[in-house]
């Protein structure tokens, strides 16, 4: 199964905390914990738990049922992360990103 985004976000938060503790990251460039607060991570995982619990029914589902399942998860994630506060990488975070973490040009143009 694919890795949940929350797993990646938590890993990024931990890596950033390690870099801050080691003094290898400018505190002004730290953004992960602010972009992905624990409340967001827990709520996102709850939505994904529900979605994963419904997955075993997919082989017997018709197209309408599959689309309904996808719609439910998308709408639930929209509630968890309203458009006005959706995590996005601020300009300062992009400027501070190391080459390995710098967003691709296609991602940067959408922020």
- For 60-70, how does the pLDDT look when each residue is reduced to its tens digit (9 = 90+)? 999 999 999 99
Going by pLDDT thresholds of 50, 70 and 90, the confidence category of residue 58 is confident
DSSP H helical ranges for the chain: 5-22, 32-35, 38-54, 63-80, 91-96, 105-108
Domain coordinates in residue numbering, the chain: 1-36+90-103, 38-86
- Contact at 8 Å (CB) between 16 and 36? no
Mean pLDDT of the chain: 81
- For 72-98, how does the pLDDT look when each residue is reduced to its tens digit (9 = 90+)? 999 999 999 875 454 555 555 555 655
Closest CA to 97 of 9, 3, 40, 16: 16
Give the pLDDT confidence score for residue 105 in this predicted structure. Answer: 37
Who's near 94: CB < 8 A, 6+ residues apart?
Answer: 102, 103, 108, 111
């Amino acid at each position: 199964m694919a890795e949940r985004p929350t797993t990646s976000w938590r890993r990024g938060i931990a890596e950033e905390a390690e870099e801050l503790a080691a003094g290898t990251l400018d505190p002004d460039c730290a953004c992960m914990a602010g972009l992905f607060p624990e409340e967001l991570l827990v709520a996102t995982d709850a939505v994904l738990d529900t979605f994963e619990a419904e997955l075993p029914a997919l082989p017997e589902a018709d197209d309408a049922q599959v689309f309904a399942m996808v719609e439910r998860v998308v709408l639930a994630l929209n509630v968890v992360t309203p458009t006005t506060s959706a995590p996005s990488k601020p300009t300062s975070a992009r400027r501070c990103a190391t080459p390995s973490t710098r967003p691709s040009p296609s991602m940067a143009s959408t922020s």
